[in-house]
A and B are shown apart, each in its own frame.
Chain A
Amino acid sequence: SQQGEEDPQALSIQEGENATMNCSYKTSINNLQWYRQNSGRGLVHLILIRSNEREKHSGRLRVTLDTSKKSSSLLITASRAADTASYFCATGSLETSGSRLTFGEGTQLTVNP
């Protein structure tokens, strides 16, 4: 199975609720990144967390990283309809200093108005 597996595959919530997506991976990493992809568009970088960090915040986003469990979570607080998109985690490999990314299959988030 792929490095960087997201869970759940699909998530549907109401506007204003929080959305939590999880990512698990298998190998040692330099960093873990989260990207958003709107339908039919390219990927947009959201946040990067390095392997020696445990938590990071950026606006309404909160990312945690547990290297002992090889897992990460992305929390989007006070969700908006505009947050509807696919969210991918990507791990940067240790041997390439984090530049070579391996993507998971993504979580499709739908935020209902």
Chain B
Amino acid sequence: NAGVTQTPKFQVLKTGQSMTLQCAQDMNHEYMSWYRQDPGMGLRLIHYSVGAGITDQGEVPNGYNVSRSTTEDFPLRLLSAAPSQTSVYFCASSYWTGRSTEAFFGQGTRLTVV
């Protein structure tokens, strides 16, 4: 049971490039989310999804797109990378209503935009 798998672990982008951070979970969780963590700060919610085909914005959605075509996968796309998007990105999943809402996190993707 792999849990939540994020790829890549590290990435360096040039300003203006685009890329997709991958996230997959094998726990059949309905709820998946993306966070960014900046130095000395907690996690801020970028986008989340409560099930396949449903996504919504979090606190800091600008510059990011998501899609949820399957229950397992929740990729995060950076459309045109900016230095302000340098951060560590975490994907998480959990059950939705009526069940435990403990969240399981991936190991993170450290992104640097130069």
Chain A residues with Cβ below 8 Å from B31 are 99-100
Q: Is the interface of B mostly helix, strand, loop or mixed?
A: loop
Give the A-B contact count at a CB cut-off of 8 A.
Answer: 67
Contact of A43 with B by CB under 8 A:
yes
Contact yes or no, B96 A45, CB < 8 A: no
Residue from the list B41, B42, B50, B107 in contact with A99, Cβ < 8 A: B50
Chain B residues with Cβ below 8 Å from A99 are 31, 50, 94-97, 101
Contact yes or no, A30 B101, CB < 8 A: yes
Contact yes or no, B97 A44, CB < 8 A: no
Q: Which residues of A does B touch, CB under 8 Å?
A: 2, 4, 30-31, 33, 35, 41-45, 48, 88, 90, 92, 96-106
Chain B residues with Cβ below 8 Å from A106 are 41-42
List 10 tightest A-B contacts by C-beta distance, closest first: A103-B42, A42-B105, A103-B43, A97-B97, A98-B101, A43-B105, A105-B42, A99-B31, A42-B107, A45-B102
